[in-house]
Chains A and B, each alone.
Chain A
Amino acid sequence: MSEVKQMVKELANQYGRSNESLLPILQGIVTKELHISEEAMIEVARELDMSAAQVYGTATFYSFLDTRPTGKYVIRVCKTITCMMHGKNQIIRELENLLKIRLGETTHDGVFTLLETNCLGQCHKGPAMLINELPFTELTPEKVRKIIIEYRNREISAN
């Protein structure tokens, strides 16, 4: 059995095989694989006995269900109004400089992807961002530098 097949099967065992299991399974794939490949979508359709078109339709609707490869850590900076007022552009510039990528890109080593997102529900502590699921708030360029160094160090000690 291919790796993808195995993973989808395990997720279906965990969350079930009904329509209501689709979103949790797709979320599970993103957690494990960082993105949902076409192969995975076809496998989910087979496992849940639904059309691949439905899986594709659902997977592409949600902004957190990445269907293109991303880095291990996806950084999503809030670009909505109060974060914009409190300097999110400066935060993005700092991140672009630190990671040497532009918005929407992934670092060469595949560790970080930099994206923008809409309001994170942290507006009283803007600017705010998520790294995978963890929120970071009241950001300043210095704070962002520290956070990125910490994540990089974690990568180095993991390898």
Chain B
Amino acid sequence: MSKKNLKRLDLIFKNEFDTEAILAKTLVRSHDEIINDLISSGLKGRGGAGFPTGLKWKLTADNPGDEKYVICNADEGEPGTFKDREILSSVPHKVLAGMAVCAKIIGAKKGFIYLRGEYKFLVPELNKILDEFHALLDKLDLAFRVAIFLGSGAYICGEESALFESMEGKRGEPRNKPPFPAQKGYKNMPTVINNVETLAHTYSIFKYGPEKFRDLGVKDSRGSKVFSVSGDTPIPGIYELEFGMTLQKFVDDFGDGDAKAVQVGGASGFCVPRKKFSKTVIGYQGKLTGVSLPTGGSMMIFNSSRSMYNVLHNYLDFFVEESCGQCTPCRVGTQQLLLGVEAVKKGEKPSSYLDKLLDLAETMRITAKCGLGQSVANSFSSIVENFREEMIY
């Protein structure tokens, strides 16, 4: 049974009915003050890349543009991630309040929630909440409106520039970077795009101040983090925990006693084998001791009954289907990795062929156009290197 070593936090999901008071208090503060609070809180993006949120807002505020936009990224397509849906359904007002303050700072009149098509069932309830929220904004005299933009079943549209393309009626194909969204985002205008959870955290910072947030976590990874826990666990679900825990502590709490690996950060994240649990710390790569892993919060636990070949095969299948096909390293690379591991498993290729595939994955990391193709190597290399025998026999 779960041992509960790790402290469970209740910052994000605590239902607080004070949106009006918090917004009224925050909207009268100077933009610099708010941005400084966000920066000193240490809040970093929870969508995976971990960019400092205060800095993102500041850069976008400083860039000139006829129109600017705030977009909440609710595309949540990473396998093993389901926290954003829960945040949007249980504390949507926190997310919206974060968007409104951001809008005031950067000078945006319009915002969007890019909601994945798989979550269409949330739309009626969200629209009701938006109506209430807009009435509140009118009362507070802030000219800002939020609309829902629905996706249509494409994981790549969670990548920010693909998301803009998609909103502009095009195929969800990532753009070259730079320019970054702070310079040219939606409709080529300066745009803040933040993950659902990131926006919800800004609310806690407005309410409690930056210190309370900063006191949580370690070193470069501040605050709490919402984790989506699934796989071989007696208690799958959504948990708010502090950054900086070792994977061993995590597995002690959430595993079924027989965990042989944990996939941290979804299919595009890393697979950590049992022998590295105690040396691996969950947080952004920074000055942590041991190996640290950034994560969008997906934690999938595999016990010893699982074939890691099947796990890898499933991920590769996913990448082959979800690659937008725009650049060759990723379009062809994902297919070749899949065919390659199948050939080794069937004995059609020698086991040394795995090394060629590892090289290919590394080449993709360097040459692919966007984060999808670049991060295939994360799971591929960590599974093949740590579970090589399972790939062969």
Contact = CB atoms under 8 A, between A and B. Distances in A.
A82 B171 contact: no
Interface stretch (A1-9, A60-68, A97-105, A150-158): A60-68
B164 to A, nearest CB: 10
Contact of B238 (A21, A57, A119, A124): A124
Contacts of B150: 23-24, 27
B79 A118 contact: yes
Given A23-B166, A123-B236, A65 B80 contact: no
B371 to A, nearest CB: 17
Contacts of B153: 62-65, 117
A119 B77 contact: yes
A62 B231 CA distance: 28
Question: Chain B's interface: helix, strand, loop or mixed, by majority?
Answer: mixed
A122 B79 CA distance: 10
Nearest to B236: A124
A134 B118 CA distance: 9
A120 interface: yes
Contacts of A126: 230
Contact of B79 (A23, A57, A64, A81): A81
A62 B314 contact: no
A123 B85 CA distance: 12
Interface string B315-333: 1011001101000000000
Contacts, number: 125
Interface residues of B, number: 52
Interface in B144-203: 149-155, 166-172, 187
Given A20-B187, A23-B149, A27-B150, 20 more contacts: A20-B167, A26-B152, A61-B154, A61-B172, A61-B324, A62-B152, A62-B154, A64-B117, A80-B314, A80-B318, A84-B310, A117-B118, A117-B153, A118-B318, A119-B318, A121-B76, A121-B77, A123-B300, A133-B120, A135-B121
12 contacts: A20-B167, A27-B152, A58-B170, A61-B171, A61-B324, A62-B172, A81-B311, A82-B80, A118-B77, A119-B78, A121-B82, A124-B229
